[in-house]
C-alpha cells in the first residue's frame, strides 16, 4: 500500500510518463495527439492536445479506478478532510445531482431551501423526490435570500420526519453561510443525511479565518467546485463523502450519468490543483481574504455602493459570512447589478462573475493581484460619476418563493402547452425560468406563476439579464401544465 503524500500528483505524473513514451495511438480521440486537427493544436498548444487521451491501463479509468485515479481520489479526500472523494468531470452540477440521486428515490422527501441551484431542481426531476422547501428570510436592503434558519429547519424535520435528507447551499453565491454544524447535528439526530452544495466553498477547509467547511461540520456529502475558487479547469469538481456513506454505491450512482470517456485534462487539473491547495492553500486564501477586505473598504469609501460583509451576521438568518466573496449592492447609485456588470465589461474591459437585479459579484481568488483590485475600484467610482441616477423605477427584492403545486418530476413530464408569459398568472409552470448566473430558478417545474414573478422576469429581461431554461429562447412564452 502506498503512503499518501500531498506533494504527489499521480494523474499528472502518469500523463508526463505517457508523453515520454511516444506511443503510436490507434485509439480515440481521433485527432491523434492533434495531428488530425492542426487548428486545435494552434488554439490549445501541443502539450495540451498531446495529453487529451483516452483511458488505458497505465492511466486507470474514472468509472472503476484501481491505480493512479484512486490514489488521486484518496489524496483529495485527505486534503479536504473527507472519508472519500470523487473526481467529477461533469461540473458541480453532476456532483449535486449525484448527492441527491444517492440519497433519494421516487416519492422520497428532501428538505432544502428554495434558492438552490437549478442542478438540484433537475435532480428532483430525474429521481422523482419531493421537495420540502424551507421559507427563507430576505435582507430588505440588498434583496437577497439569507441562510437556513435552525428553527425553520427543525420545524420542517418535525413535520416531515420521513424525509431522507437535508440539502444546504453553503456558502451562497453572495457569501451567506448557515449554521452547518448545528443543522448537521439536528438532521443526524432525526436520521437524515446532510448534503451540502459547497460549489462556492472549495477554499473554506484550508484556513480557520473562514466559515466552517461541510466536511469539518460533519456533513455526509459535499459538492465542491474546484474550478471556482480552487484553481482547476472549468467543468471540474470534487464530490466529498463523510464516513457514514457507502462510497462504492455512490460511485455506481455517479456512473449512471457521468461520461465513460473522462477528460484527462480535467482530471489532471483537479490533481494538480488539489496539490496546490494542500501545500499552499492556507497562505493563498489568507491573501485572498486580505485583498477582498481591502476591495470592500475601498468600494464602500466611493459611496453609493454597499460591499457587504460580516456586519450582516446575526446568528440566525446569517450565521457567518465568507469574506472572500466581494458582493456589492449597486442600486444605491440608481443602477441594477446587471447594468453595472455590462458597463464594467463593455466600457472598462472588466469581466465580473455576475450582475443581478440588485447586486454584482466580483470573484476574488488565488489568481488575482492587487492592481486588478485597484482597477475594479477605479472603474466602479467612474461608473458612479458618469452613470448614476435616482433609480426610483428599480424593483427591489431579488428573491421570490413561489407556491409548489406539483413535484418537479410530475410537472416536467405532465401534459403541457405554450402560452405567452404575460398571460400565465395562475398557471403551473412546466419548466425552469432563471437568470444565469447565478442559476437559481425564479420558477421551477410545478410552481404557481404569479403576476409578481411575471413582472420580475420582464424587468430582468429589460435590464439585460441572461434568462434561460425555457423552450422559448426569447422567454416571451412559458410552458404550463394542462389542468387536470
pLDDT at site 483? 75
d(CA 480, CA 429): 5
pLDDT at site 3? 82
287: left (phi over 0), alpha (psi -120 to 50) or beta: alpha
Please name the fold of domain 408-481: Ornithine Decarboxylase; Chain A, domain 4 (3.90.100)
pLDDT digits (tens, 9 = 90+) for 301-321: 999 999 999 999 999 999 999
Under the banding of pLDDT at 50, 70 and 90, the label for residue 484 is: low
pLDDT digits (tens, 9 = 90+) for 345-389: 999 999 999 999 899 999 999 999 999 999 999 999 999 999 999
pLDDT digits (tens, 9 = 90+) for 267-306: 999 999 999 999 999 999 999 999 999 999 999 999 999 9
Beta bridge partners of 468: 434
pLDDT at site 2? 62
d(CA 136, CA 113): 7
pLDDT at site 398? 58
Q: Which residues lie closer than 8 Å to 91 by C-beta, 6 or more apart?
A: 225, 227, 235, 236, 237
Burial per residue of 76-100, b for 16 or more beta-carbon CB atoms within 10 angstroms, e otherwise: bbbbbebebbbbbbbbbbbbbbbbb
Secondary structure string (H, E, C) spanning the chain:
CCCCCCCCCHHHHHHHHHHHHCCCCCCCCCCCCCCCCHHHHHHHCHHHHHCCCCCEHHHECCCCCCCHHHHHHHHHHHHHCCCEEEEECCHHHHHHHHHHHHHCCCCCEEEEECCCCHHHHHHHHHHCCEEEEECCCECCCCCCECCCCHHHHHHHHHHCCCCCEEEEECCCCCCEECCHHHHHHHHHHCCCEEEEEECCCCCHHHCCCCCCCCCCCCCCEEEECHHHHCCCCCCCEEEEECCCCCHHHHHHHHHHHCCCCCCHHHHHHHHHHHHHHHHHHHHHHHHHHHHHHHHHHHHHHHCCCEECCHHHCCCCCCCEECCCEEEEECHHHCCCHHHHHHHHHHHHCCCCCEECCCEEEEECCCCCCHHHHHHHHHHHHHHHHHHCCCCCCCCCCCCCCCCECCCHHHHHHCCEEEEEHHHCCCCEECCCEEECCCCCEEECCCEECCHHHHHHHHHHHHHCCCEECCCCCCCCEEEEECCC
Please name the fold of domain 281-387: 3.90.1150
What is the share, in percent, of the chain residues with pLDDT greater than 70?
99
The ranges assigned to domains in the chain are 10-57, 58-263, 281-387, 408-481
pLDDT at site 395? 80
Q: Does 58-263 match 281-387 in CATH topology?
A: no
Instruction: Cell 471556482: give the residue.
Output: 228
pLDDT at site 27? 87
How many beta carbons lie within 10 A of that of residue 436, not counting itself?
Answer: 15
Does the domain made of 58-263 have the CATH classification 2.130.10.10? no
pLDDT digits (tens, 9 = 90+) for 11-52: 999 999 998 888 888 889 999 988 899 999 999 999 999 999
pLDDT at site 392? 86
For residue 102, cis peptide bond before it (omega within 30 degrees of 0): no
Query: Given a cut of 70, is residue 187 above it in pLDDT?
Result: yes
pLDDT at site 219? 98
Under the banding of pLDDT at 50, 70 and 90, the label for residue 233 is: very high
Under the banding of pLDDT at 50, 70 and 90, the label for residue 463 is: confident
From 5, 12, 8, 3, select the one nearest 270 (Cα to Cα): 12
pLDDT at site 394? 87
Under the banding of pLDDT at 50, 70 and 90, the label for residue 159 is: very high
Query: Given a cut of 70, is residue 399 above it in pLDDT?
Result: no
pLDDT at site 141? 85
Under the banding of pLDDT at 50, 70 and 90, the label for residue 462 is: confident
Q: 176: buried, middle or exposed (CB in 10 Å: 19+, 13-18, 0-12)? A: buried
Mean pLDDT (the chain) is 95
Kindly report whether the global pTM for this prediction surpasses the value 0.85.
yes
What is the share, in percent, of the chain residues with pLDDT greater than 90?
87
d(CA 257, CA 280): 33
From 67, 49, 50, 61, select the one nearest 89 (Cα to Cα): 61
Q: If you average pLDDT over residues 233-243, what whole number do you get?
A: 98
155-159, 237-241, 362-366: the lowest-pLDDT one: 362-366
Amino acid at each position: 500500500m502506498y503512503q499518501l503524500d500531498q506533494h504527489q500528483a499521480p494523474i499528472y505524473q502518469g500523463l508526463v510518463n505517457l508523453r515520454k513514451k511516444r506511443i503510436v495511438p490507434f485509439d480515440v480521440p481521433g485527432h491523434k495527439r492533434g495531428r488530425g486537427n492542426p487548428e486545435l493544436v494552434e488554439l490549445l498548444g501541443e502539450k495540451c492536445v498531446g495529453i487529451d487521451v483516452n483511458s488505458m491501463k497505465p492511466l486507470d479509468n474514472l468509472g472503476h479506478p484501481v491505480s493512479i485515479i484512486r490514489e488521486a481520489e484518496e489524496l483529495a479526500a485527505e486534503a479536504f478532510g473527507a472519508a472519500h472523494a470523487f473526481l467529477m468531470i461533469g461540473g458541480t452540477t453532476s456532483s449535486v445531482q449525484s448527492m441527491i440521486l444517492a440519497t433519494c428515490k421516487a416519492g422520497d422527501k428532501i428538505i432544502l431551501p428554495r434558492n438552490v441551484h437549478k442542478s438540484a431542481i433537475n435532480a428532483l426531476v430525474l429521481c422523482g423526490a419531493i421537495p420540502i422547501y424551507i421559507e427563507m428570510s430576505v435582507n430588505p436592503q440588498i434583496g437577497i435570500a439569507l441562510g437556513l434558519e435552525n428553527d425553520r429547519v427543525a420545524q420542517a424535520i418535525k413535520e416531515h420526519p420521513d424525509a431522507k435528507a437535508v440539502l444546504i447551499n453553503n456558502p451562497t453565491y453572495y457569501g451567506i453561510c448557515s449554521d452547518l454544524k448545528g443543522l448537521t447535528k439536528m438532521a443526524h439526530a432525526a436520521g437524515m443525511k446532510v448534503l451540502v452544495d459547497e460549489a462556492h466553498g472549495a477554499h473554506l477547509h484550508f484556513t480557520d479565518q473562514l466559515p466552517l467547511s461541510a466536511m469539518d461540520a460533519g456533513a455526509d456529502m459535499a459538492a465542491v467546485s474546484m474550478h471556482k475558487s480552487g484553481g482547476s479547469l472549468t467543468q471540474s469538481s470534487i464530490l466529498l463523502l463523510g464516513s457514514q456513506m457507502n462510497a462504492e454505491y455512490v460511485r455506481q450512482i455517479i456512473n449512471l450519468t457521468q461520461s465513460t470517456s473522462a477528460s484527462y485534462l480535467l482530471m489532471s487539473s483537479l490533481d494538480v490543483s488539489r496539490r496546490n491547495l494542500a501545500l499552499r492553500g492556507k497562505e493563498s486564501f489568507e491573501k485572498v481574504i486580505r485583498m477582498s477586505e481591502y476591495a470592500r473598504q475601498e468600494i464602500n469609501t466611493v459611496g453609493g455602493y454597499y460591499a457587504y460583509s460580516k456586519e450582516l451576521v446575526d446568528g440566525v438568518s446569517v450565521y457567518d459570512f465568507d469574506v472572500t466573496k466581494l458582493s456589492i449592492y449597486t442600486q444605491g447609485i440608481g443602477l441594477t447589478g446587471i447594468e453595472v456588470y455590462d458597463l464594467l465589461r463593455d466600457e472598462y474591459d472588466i469581466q465580473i462573475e455576475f450582475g443581478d437585479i440588485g447586486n454584482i459579484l466580483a470573484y476574488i481568488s488565488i489568481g488575482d493581484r492587487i492592481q486588478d483590485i485597484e482597477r475594479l475600484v477605479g472603474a466602479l467610482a467612474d461608473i458612479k460619476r458618469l452613470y448614476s441616477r435616482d433609480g426610483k423605477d428599480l424593483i427591489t427584492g431579488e428573491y421570490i418563493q413561489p407556491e409548489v403545486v406539483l413535484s418537479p418530476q410530475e410537472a416536467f413530464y405532465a401534459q403541457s402547452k405554450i402560452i405567452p408569459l404575460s398571460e400565465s398568472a395562475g398557471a403551473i409552470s412546466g419548466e425552469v425560468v432563471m437568470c444565469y448566473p447565478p442559476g437559481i430558478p425564479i420558477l421551477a417545474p410545478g410552481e404557481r406563476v404569479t403576476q409578481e414573478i411575471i413582472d420580475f422576469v420582464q424587468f430582468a429581461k429589460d435590464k439585460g439579464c441572461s434568462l434561460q431554461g425555457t423552450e422559448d429562447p426569447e422567454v416571451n412564452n412559458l410552458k404550463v401544465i394542462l389542468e387536470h
